[in-house]
A and B are shown apart, each in its own frame.
Chain A
Amino acid sequence: MTQQLRHHIAGGFRQVYRFFAFHWEILRRAVRPPYYGATVWEQMDRIGVDSLSIVVLVGFFTGFVLAFQTGYAMMRFGAKIYVGGIVAVSLVRELGPVLIAMVFAGRVGAGITAELGAMQVSEQIDAMRALATDPLRKLVLTRVIASVAMLPVLVVIGDLVGIAGGMLVGVMNLGLTVNFYRSSVVNALVFNDLFSGLVKPVVFGFMIAMVACYYGLTTSGGTKGVGEAVTRTVVVSSVLIFLLDAVITKLLFLIGM
C-alpha cells in the first residue's frame, strides 16, 4: 500500500516535471524564428473566428441574466440605476474572462487535444519529426500564439455583447433609458477593470493551449487514449482557470489594480 502510494506520488511529480519541461521547450522556441506565420494566421481563424458565435451567445446571456438578477435585487433598495455599472464591472473584471475561457477550453482546448492526439497515435507526429520538422514549433507554438492573441479578442467581444444583453434587460424590464444605462457603464469602468479584464484572457489563452497541446502530444492508447486526453484537457484547464483567476485577482489587488 505504502509502495503503491509512493509510486503514485512519484508518477505525479514526474507528470508535473514533464509539464514544466514542456513549457520550457516552448518558451525556448518562442524567442527564435521561424514562427510559421501562415499557420498562426490559419489557427487564429480556426481558434478565434470559428468560436465567435458561441462567445456571443455566452456573453449575451451572461449579461442578460446578470442584469436581471442584480436589477431585481437592487430595485428593493432603489438602486437600479447602478445596474449598468455592476453588469459592466462584473463582466469585464471577472465573468467575461472566466466564462469565455471555460467555453474556449471546451471548444478549442478539446479540439487541439483531439487533433494532436489523433496525430500522435497514428504516428503523424513521428512522421513530421522524421521529415525534419519540429512539431513543438509547427503545431504547439503556432497554437499557443493564436490562443494568446485570440482569447482576449473573444473576451472583449463577449464583454461588449454581455453589456448589450444587460442593456436590453435594463431598458425592457427595469425602465432605464439607453443613455442612462450607457453612462452608468462608462462611469463605472476604470482603467484597472480593463487591465484586469485583458490580463486574465492572455494568461488563460496561454495556459489552455499549453495544456491542450501537452495532453495531445502525450496521448497513447489509440482512440480510447484520445478520448481520455480530451477529458483531461477540459478538466485540468477548467480547474486551472479558477486557480489562476484567484491568483491573478489577488496579485492585481496587491499592486492596487
Chain B
Amino acid sequence: MHMIQLIDISKEFDGKQVLKNVSLTLNDGETLVILGRSGCGKSVTLKIILRLLEPDGGRVIIDGEDITGYREERMMPIRKRMGMLFQGAALFDSLDVKENVAYSLREHTRMDEQQIADKVAEALSFVELSGSERLMPSELSGGMKKRVALARAIALDPKYMFYDEPTTGLDPLTSRKINELIKKLQSEHKVSSIVVTHEIANAFQVADRFAVIKDGEILLSGTADEIKGSKMKFVQDFIKGGVISYANQ
C-alpha cells in the first residue's frame, strides 16, 4: 500500500530547477533510499514531503490525504506522524540531551515529569546513549549528535522516518551503528523510512528499494538487484564508487 506519494513534484531555487516532475512512492513498512550526487535535490525532496519547503508544482499525498497547499497549522498533526534526522543533527544547542529528546513530548503530550524521563531514557537506550541526559550538544561527537537527534525524532513513535545523509561524515563503525538503528526501527517499530544518501555502501545496508536521482529527475527506481543490474553508466559508476563527473552531461 502506498503510504507516501509524490506526484510530478518540481522545485526551483533562484531560477535553477532542482526537481523536475519527480514522482515517488513509499510503501508500508519499507525503507526507500534516494541515491544521488550532492546537490541533486535529494534533501529538497525530503523537505517537500515534510512541507518544510513548498513545491512549485505537483502533489504530495500522505496516507491518502493530499497535503499540497496545506498551511503550517494544518501540517502539525501530519508532522507528528513523522520524524526527521537532519544532516547536521540540528539539535537545539541551548538544551541538553534530555530536553532535546523530551522536546516533542513536552510540546504534544500531557506526560508528567516521570513519564517524560522514562520515555527519554527509553529513546536514549534505543540509540545506545543511556546516561547522556545531562550532556550539552556541544559536548557530543558527530555520531552521538546523530543518535541523539534520532532519539528525539522517535520520541513520539512516528510512523515515518526521514533520514538526510545519516552517515555522512561519520567513521565506518559509527556509520554501521546508525544503519543498524535504521534497520532496528524498521523491524521493531514497523517504521516506513526514506533515506537520502550518496554513500552507496551504507545505502545497500538499509534499503528495500532505491530511487536514483540525477539532475533533479528520477533516473531509475527499483530493488537492490535491479539497481546493480542497471546498464546505465551513471548508476554503475555510482555503485562502483568511482569518481563521477557528470556535471556537464
Contact = CB atoms under 8 A, between A and B. Distances in A.
Interface of A: 119, 122-124, 126-134, 136
A131 B88 contact: no
B72 A127 contact: no
A257 to B, nearest CB: 39
Given A132-B76, A136-B72, A124 B104 contact: no
A131 B72 contact: no
Contacts of B93: 122, 124
Contacts of A124: 90-93
A119 B87 CA distance: 15
B62 to A, nearest CB: 13
B76 A134 contact: yes
B140 interface: no
Contacts, number: 57
A87 B147 CA distance: 61
Nearest to A133: B107
B90 A132 contact: no
Contact of B86 (A126, A132, A136): A126
A132 B77 contact: yes
Nearest to A126: B52
A132 B84 CA distance: 11
11 contacts: A123-B90, A126-B86, A127-B90, A127-B92, A130-B50, A130-B79, A130-B86, A131-B104, A131-B152, A131-B153, A133-B107
Q: Give 8 nearest A-B pairs by CB, closest first.
A: A127-B90, A123-B90, A132-B79, A130-B84, A132-B80, A132-B76, A131-B104, A123-B86
Nearest to B76: A132
B107 A130 contact: no
Contacts of B152: 131
A134 B79 CA distance: 11
Most buried by A among B72, B91, B93, B149: B72
Interface in B60-88: 72-73, 75-77, 79-80, 82-84, 86-88
A131 B154 CA distance: 10
B119 interface: no
A134 B87 CA distance: 21
A129 B108 CA distance: 13
A131 B153 CA distance: 7
Given A131-B107, A131-B152, A132-B80, A122 B90 contact: yes
Contact of A127 (B75, B80, B84, B108): B84
A247 to B, nearest CB: 32
Contacts of B50: 129-130
Contacts of A127: 84, 86, 90-92, 149
B47 interface: yes
Nearest to A123: B90
Contacts of A133: 76, 103-104, 107
Contact of A130 (B72, B73, B82): B82
A132 B107 contact: yes
B65 to A, nearest CB: 16
Interface in B166-195: none
Given A130-B82, A134-B72, A122 B52 contact: no
Given A130-B82, A131-B152, 15 more contacts: A119-B92, A122-B93, A124-B91, A124-B93, A127-B91, A130-B153, A131-B107, A132-B76, A132-B77, A132-B79, A132-B104, A132-B107, A133-B103, A134-B72, A134-B76
